[in-house]
Amino acid sequence: MREAMFYQKLDDNKVKCYLCRHECVIVDGKTGICGVRENKEGTLYTLVYGKLVSINIDPVEKKPLYHFLPGTDTYSIATVGCNFRCEHCQNYEISQMPREGHAIVGESFSPSEIVRDALAQGCKSISYTYTEPTIFFEYAYDIAKLAKEEGLKNIFVTNGYIGEEPLRTIAPYLDAANIDLKAFTEEFYRKICGARLEPLLKSIRLYKELGIWIEITTLIIPDLNDSEDELRQIARFIKSLGEETPWHVTAFYPTYKLTNKPPTPVETLERARKIGLEEGLRYVYEGNIPGTEGGNTYCYKCGELLIRRYGFTVLEKKIKDSKCSACGTEIDGIGL
């Protein structure tokens, strides 16, 4: 265990945690909503520092990030725990383990070991992913600082519910983030995720203000967040961040507690992509269904096919020095 960052001591051995937007008040002997930050006699501890439950080498496109070092590998790590309880979580075995299994598991790795192995594997970045990186902030922060010193980039794949002070603290070391914008109603966030929409929108705006490259993902679930009005609201919010912000509209498959909804039809993704482009976004991608035209990157000015993909694999890349090979338009992103 290690003492946590971002908390306040209260009376009666209580503490208030400011790591995420829940701002849990935690009594002695209990954990916050995430299940991995415990109050012991008035001191808040992180229970997952150095305890990795997953290590993989992934294409950065899997995060998904399509405008950040395309075609490179990223060293992906996770601990158990999450500050959401999404009914459709695809990694629920590890994200919900502290809450449902009352267990903290993981193999011990120091930050320097992680950075050393990422370099040895030829990765260009480290991704904090699979569960919610916010809840293992102290560990991610120490790794990210070392990674930056060694020339590696750092990526959060996140639900975006991080608090303002923690985000400002890690921002100098955080290069990119894929942020889930799961829906655009308070009802969805409250019932399906156990969270609130408005605090998330504040965090997304702050990511952008801090100069971190962001891409937004919306998993489209039939009858829950797939109406034209809601998709347009999401697209307009992303446009307000900047028309260069990529939007990934991805297909849902029944899992965990949400098995009463069918998989997302391809036609729904195509409609969502069309809506995003109509609302003025430069880059809208269809995900979780390999082989569609919506998985490719096109020049927003002349329509030239610039990056052709199948799933997470880059098959062809026709961008040089971040410019369209046909018309010379600057294509937004990092390391294109």
User: Which pLDDT score, from 0 to 100, does residue 121 have?
Assistant: 98
Q: Choose among 189, 179, 177: nearest CA to 221.
A: 189
Domain range annotation of the chain: 2-46, 51-291
- Residue 317 DSSP one-character state: E
Measured CA to CA in angstroms, residue 102 lies from 41, 95, 133, 214 at distances of 20, 12, 19, 33
Q: Which residues pair with 258 in a beta bridge?
A: 255
User: Which pLDDT score, from 0 to 100, does residue 89 have?
Assistant: 97
Cα 28 from chain centre: 31
**pTM: predicted TM-score of the whole model, two decimal places:** 0.97
What is the sign of the dihedral through the CA atoms of 65, 68, 72 and 75? negative
Helix (H, G, I), strand (E, B) or coil at 178: strand
DSSP 147-177: HHHTT-EEEEEE-S-B-HHHHHHHGGG--EE
Kind and range of the H or E run holding 308: strand 305-310
Note whether 243 and 279 are within 8 A (CB). Answer: no
Quick one: CATH architecture of 51-291? Alpha-Beta Barrel (3.20)
How would you write the pLDDT of the chain (336 residues) with one tens digit per residue?
899 999 999 999 999 999 999 999 999 999 999 999 999 999 999 999 999 999 999 999 999 999 999 999 999 999 999 999 999 999 999 999 999 999 999 999 999 999 999 999 999 999 999 999 999 999 999 999 999 999 999 999 999 999 999 999 999 999 999 999 999 999 999 999 999 999 999 999 999 999 999 999 999 999 999 999 999 999 999 999 999 999 999 999 999 999 999 999 999 999 999 999 999 999 999 999 999 999 999 999 999 999 999 999 999 999 989 999 999 999 999 999
User: Which pLDDT score, from 0 to 100, does residue 1 have?
Assistant: 85
Q: Choose among 331, 296, 300: nearest CA to 312.
A: 296
Q: Which own/partner contact pairs does 172-175 have at CB distance under 8 Å and 24+ positions apart?
A: 172/148, 173/141, 173/144, 173/145, 173/147, 173/148, 174/144, 174/212, 175/68, 175/125, 175/212, 175/213, 175/334
Q: Which residues pair with 216 in a beta bridge?
A: 179, 247
The token pair at 197 is 């929409």
The token pair at 178 is 């894929």
